[in-house]
Amino acid sequence: MQGQRFRINAPDVINQVIDGEAIVLHLGTGRYFSARGCGAEVWSWLSASVPVPAVVEALASSYDASPDAIAAAVDEFVTYLSGEGLIVDNFDDQPAATPSPTISTPKPSFELPVMEAFGDLEDLLLLDPVHEVSTEKGWPHVAPEAGSHG
């Protein structure tokens, strides 16, 4: 994994990063994600096809943690993102992007990159009037457990 580059699994996956925070939506699975720790930073670099070793190096220059610990955390993060179908291997031959880490002294402590998942959108499809239907019978049969709305 260490030499790999990735890209966002578009068009199923869309994302926005604002002020160092990220939201990621998988339109195929109905799950959405919010980054915690240094997750948004790592997500931004991975989705820009920065190679994994360069991500680890950039984090090691920014945070107070051993490169081995950072590498293990990034590997675990990448495995999770891949498992959720948020990123896929990038085999194109374009030049690799380089990260722009924030360097401060003293280095802040390293917070594990985490992508918190929310899986309530399938419920949403049943809650909203547009979809307030039985998934078995279709329109106009109302879903038996459709709840309050707003």
Partner 1 sequence: MTEDFTRAADVVGGLIDRWFMIAGQPVVLQFAGPRLLPLTEAFEHLACLPQPSVPALTIHLWDRASTGIGVAAPPLDGRIGEAAGLRVLWHELPLRVLLQPGQGSLSAIDEVSGEAWYWCDDADALPYWEFAAPLRMVLHWWLGTCGALMLHAAAIGSDNGGVLLVGRGGSGKSTTSLLGLRAGLQFASDDYVAVDPTLDATGCPTVHSLFGSGKLTADQYANFPELHAGVVNADRLDIEKAVLFVNRVFPLQLVRQFPLQAVLVPRITGLPKTIAHKVSPIAALAALAPSTLFQLPGTASADLAAMAQVVRQVPTYALELGTDLDAVPIAIANLLRSLDSERHE
Contact residues: partner 1, CB under 8 A: 10-11, 14-16, 18-19, 21-23, 25, 27, 30, 32, 34, 118, 120-121, 124-125, 127-133, 135, 138-142, 147-150
Among the listed residues 77, 27, 70, the one whose alpha carbon sits nearest the alpha carbon of residue 47: 77
For partner 1, the closer CB: 16 or 104: 16
35 by Cβ neighbours in 10 Å (0-12 / 13-18 / 19+) ranks as buried
Among the listed residues 83, 84, 102, 90, the one whose alpha carbon sits nearest the alpha carbon of residue 47: 90
For partner 1, the closer CB: 4 or 34: 34
- Provide the minimum distance between the beta carbon of 38 and partner 1 in the complex, in angstroms, as a whole number: 15
- Provide the minimum distance between the beta carbon of 120 and partner 1 in the complex, in angstroms, as a whole number: 7
What whole-number distance in Å separates Cα of residue 47 and Cα of residue 59? 16
- Provide the minimum distance between the beta carbon of 148 and partner 1 in the complex, in angstroms, as a whole number: 5
